[in-house]
Amino acid sequence: TYTTGTKSREENKKTIESLYRLSVDIKKIRRLKEWVLHQDVAYVKEIAGILQEMGADEAAVANILERCPEAILHTPAEINSQKALWQLVCQNEKQLITLIQQFPESFFTTEYHENQKANILFFKELGLKNNVITRFLTSTPNIFYNPVEKNKNVIETLQINYLSLGGSDANMRIWILKLLSQNPFILLNTSTTIKENLEFLQNSDFTDHEVLQLLSKLKGFIFQLTPTTMQKSMLFSKNVFKCSDQELKQLVLKCPALLYYSVPVLEERLEGLLKEGISVAQIRETPMVLELTTQIVQYRIKKLSALGYDIKSGTLESLNGTKKDFEVNYGKMQSKKERPIFNPVAPIHIED
C-alpha cells in the first residue's frame, strides 16, 4: 500500500496531463496498472526530472514510466535515496540509468530501503564485486529485502558445512563467492533447508568429498530441493537403469540432473529419447543427455541425421553440451563429411 496518496474513484487529471506531456502511452498504463492513475498524489514531473538528470532522454523516460508507472507514486526523496544506494555499486550515472531502463521495477521498489542498504554493504564486505551485486539487484532483488541477519545466517551455515565436509579455510571464501555468483537464490532458503539437504546426501552414502562435488556441479541449486523430491528422483533413476545403490551414486555424480530434476521431468525426457529409438543402455552410458529438453534433443538428432549420423547405433556424446558446444561439434562433423577425397590444389604429377 502506497502512503503517497489515497485512491479516488476517478483518474487524476493532473497526473494524466503530466504523463501526456512526457509522451507516455497512457492507454498502456490503463491496461496494465490503471490503479496508479487513480491516486490523489503523484510526482510525475519530479521523477521524470531525476531520470533526466541521470541522462535519460524523453523516449527513455516515457518507456520507464510505461513499464513501471508506480514510480510516480514515490516521493523525490525516496528516489534520490535509492539512487544514492545503487550508486554504491554502479560505476557512474550512465550505467545506473541503463540498469533502470532495463529493470525499472527493481529500482523503484523502495519499501525495503534499509534492508537493501545493509545487504549491499554486507555483500561488499564479503568480497562480491560490484558488477555481481548489480546483477543481483536486477535479477534477484528479493534477496535484498531480507534482513541482513538472515542472509548472514545462511552464509555462515554454508561456511560451517563447507568446512565440516572437508573444505579448506583457504578455499572457503572463493567457494562461497562462486556459489553466490552462480546462484544467489541460495539466500532465499533457510539454514534448516541447507542442513536437511546435506544430511540427506550424507545418509545416501555420498562421501563428504562427493557431497562437495555435487554442490559445485549443481551450483547451489541443490538447496532449492527437498530430501523427499531427491529421494523420488533417485528411486526413479534406480528403477529405470536397473542399477545398484553404488552404481546409482556414480550415475548421479556423473549427471547431477538425476538428483535435481523431478520425476515428471525425467519421465518426459526419457520418453522423448526412447521415441527417437535411443535405448536405456545408451542413456545409462551418457546420462547427461537428460539435462536437455525433448525439443532440443529432437532438433539435434534431426541435424545429425542430415549428416548421415545414426544416433541409434552411435554414442550420445554428440548430442551433449551447451548450444555452443553442439554447434562446434556439428561444424567439425560437417566439414569432415564435406572434405574432398583428393586435394584440389595439390600439384598433378604427369609422366613425360
The structural domains of the chain, with segments of one domain joined by +, span 9-110
What's the average model confidence in pLDDT over 291-312?
87
Q: Which residues pair with residue 36 across a beta bridge?
A: none
- Calpha distance 258→288 (Å, rounded): 9
Q: What is the pTM of this model?
A: 0.77
Reported as a pLDDT band with limits 50, 70 and 90, residue 351 is very low
Q: Which of 63-72, 119-128, 152-161, 219-228 has the lowest mean pLDDT?
A: 219-228
pLDDT tens-place string over residues 21-35:
999 999 999 998 999
Residue among 320, 272, 267 nearest 298 (CA): 272
Most confidently modeled of 152-156, 321-325, 328-332, 335-339? 152-156
- Predicted pLDDT of residue 338: 66
Q: Compute φ and ψ for 39, nearest 5 degrees.
A: -75, 140
Reported as a pLDDT band with limits 50, 70 and 90, residue 352 is very low
Cell of 329: 561439434
- Element (DSSP H or E) covering residue 208: helix 208-217
- Calpha distance 333→128 (Å, rounded): 42
pLDDT averaged over every residue in the chain: 88
